[in-house]
Amino acid sequence: MNEWLVFLLLFLAPVISSVPIVLAYKSEKWTAKLPPLSVFGIFVSVVMSLYIFFNIEGRVPASPNEWVWVPDLGINFVFMCDYLSRYMGVITAVIAFFIAVYGLDYMKGDYRPSWYWFFFNLFTASMLLVVYSDNLFLLFLGWEGLGAASWGLIGQWFRDDDDITYVGREGRKAGPLLLHWPPSFGGWRAISTIRFGDVPMFLAIAAIWVFAGTLNISEIEWGSLFETIGAVGTIILFLCLLMGLFTKSAQVPFSEWLMTAMTGPTTVSALLHSATMVAAGAFVFIKLTWYIEPWTLHEVPGLEYVYLLVLFVGLLSGLYGALAGSGMLERKVLLAASTMSSIGLMFAAAAASFWVDVDIGGMNLAVLVAFWYMAVHAFAKASLFLVSGHLIHATHSRFSCGALEFGKKMIPAFIVTIIATTFLVGIPPLTAYWVKSAMDEVMEHLFHDLGFLPFILLVLTSVVYSGLMAKFLALNFIKGERPHHEQIEGGGLMKLGYGLMVSMLFLLLYLIFTSKETHEFVAAGAVVKYGTITLSFTVGILVFLAFIFALYKPQISALTKLGTFFSDRMYLPFVNDYIMPKVGFSLSHVVHEYGNRGIDGFFNTKVVPGLFGGISRGIRSIQTGYLSRYINIVLGLVMFILIIAVVGAWGL
């Protein structure tokens, strides 16, 4: 099959298949029948991604046969089918397809199906463009598509007519700030936060083009680029890039948009938190690190500071997200906090590659760990979000509730939640344990350069995260309050969606044990090495004990105030929603009152008009109409010129 045709189908099939339902938006009859066509478009992307995985490898097309778009700016259609893109493309397409199948049930009867399916499919196509693009500008187009589609999807329920679509508890305040956000606010907040990071990211891409002469990631001589711009330039360039990556991936202090994004449909939340949007920032960082190879550039000044920043922002975001989630009772917001935590660990693991020069089949161990943790997290978290959506339908509540009696009525959801939580937290010998063991090993490599702090932060995050996932399981199926409303009939496609999703965790476990590039994961997770129990296995036992304890005691009354502090997200919303806007409005007031008035006075009312007025009056003063006056002026100018000429000649 022609490679260009494969990529056209991959990106365009989801978008084109959603056009009919958009055109039929006024017909309730047709908008109820056309969603399967949109799902089929995503299925085409699944097939194309699998074709790429098994049949295409490397840079497509090979230079110089790339499809030229804007040659003067080095903007061309070039797609990368390396290890990361091939795997991530399949993960993205498959997850989007499973969620879309689930959405056929979940979104049935919604008041804006045309809006939903168009933006859902655009979101999927945009992420695929980010995944496969080798050209940074082309990648940025997909990046912006994600932002636009996220605004449309998070704000799907813009009417604000049902408290079940809100985030936060009604009446709860942090100082003067009400911690209760409507759906109409969620989409605006997401797009405004993301745009705050997109502008410097775009400037960074422009700077790369100026100094590197190309925007193709695989062709850029990164070492030469950093040496050309120097230490300060390298730090500034990366800070601009990281603003885009950190805001998109909701890292501290840009995490609040992710919590209020939970006002959108659960299918949107599942897509945002698995292999798209929130994962996009971490994936782009992993992809850039893959080609920058920072472990070979220790002599480049400034680069170490950049990776040190990413390492600790990731670790602190991981711990913050886990702690914040531990105090939450809203199903989706709890899972959102845990996603922020996991994404932080992905950033941290990839950043550790600067100090970890461990080669596995030509690939860096730290980068591999970050990517494989992304894959495990994607399927596990998508499964939990889909279960959460089913629970919201069944109980008509966004808050965790469900005793064991209720759990027995929701057996498929119960089983999927058990699998997804235990396979995700790092309990031996389940899927995430092997990846987390390799992550522990990566942090152990940092002992010499950075001490024990990164490892300690990782272990603390892992233990708290494990308790957080156990809390979700316990409060929804075992020890939660009895739901006031139960509607457990139907939901066949929803059950199919999260059933298929969680099954992928078994496939990943199989791949970990059979793939050459992950053999180090298995070695890292060994119980005994050199006659002693390994540190990774010890951490795994701690994670298991934390899970069991939280399962038995999901809520501790003595820690209610601390839990409230965590559920209020340590008052970060107060900083983001109250203090920062106050500062911003104060600055805008100063600019308006003094800056605008100064500019207006200079150009429009005082300085410039006064200058031109003076010149005009001077000119008018000599326009008397008498010929003798004009002759005198001309003679005066001639005499002045002659004097200047004589003085100049005398000087020579």
* pLDDT digits 0-9 by tens, 600-617: 777 777 777 778 777 777
Alpha carbons 461 and 252: distance in angstroms, whole number: 15
pTM: 0.89
- Tokens 């004589």 belong to 646
> Binning pLDDT at 50, 70 and 90, where does residue 64 land?
very low
pLDDT at 62: 56
The overall average pLDDT reported for the chain is 88
Alpha carbons 73 and 18: distance in angstroms, whole number: 32
* pLDDT digits 0-9 by tens, 236-248: 999 999 999 999 9
To the nearest 10 degrees (0 to 180), the angle between helices 113-132 and 136-154 is 160
Alpha carbons 637 and 631: distance in angstroms, whole number: 10
> Binning pLDDT at 50, 70 and 90, where does residue 327 land?
confident
- Ordered by start, the domain boundaries in the chain are 3-167+183-504+557-567, 568-621, 624-652
- Tokens 């089913």 belong to 390
Cα torsion 287, 332, 267, 93 to 10°: value is 20
* pLDDT digits 0-9 by tens, 402-435: 889 998 999 999 999 999 999 999 999 999 999 9
Across the range 181-203, mean pLDDT stands at 88
H-state helical runs in 478-579:
492-514, 519-524, 535-552, 560-567, 572-574
Alpha carbons 628 and 620: distance in angstroms, whole number: 16
pLDDT at 627: 64
| Residues in CB range of 388: below 8 A, 6 or more apart | 266, 269, 331, 332, 335, 476
Do the beta carbons of residue 138 and residue 78 sit within 8 Å? yes
> Binning pLDDT at 50, 70 and 90, where does residue 66 land?
low
% of the chain exceeding 90 in pLDDT: 58
> Binning pLDDT at 50, 70 and 90, where does residue 480 land?
confident
Alpha carbons 310 and 46: distance in angstroms, whole number: 33
Whether residue 647 is predicted with pLDDT greater than 90 in this model: the reply is no
Annotate 326-348 with b (16+ C-beta within 10 A) or e (fewer). Answer: bbbbbbbbbbbbbbbbbbbbbbb
Whole-angstrom CA distances from 488 to 47, 99, 100, 387 are: 34, 20, 21, 13
* pLDDT digits 0-9 by tens, 507-556: 999 999 999 999 999 999 998 877 788 889 999 999 999 999 999 998 87
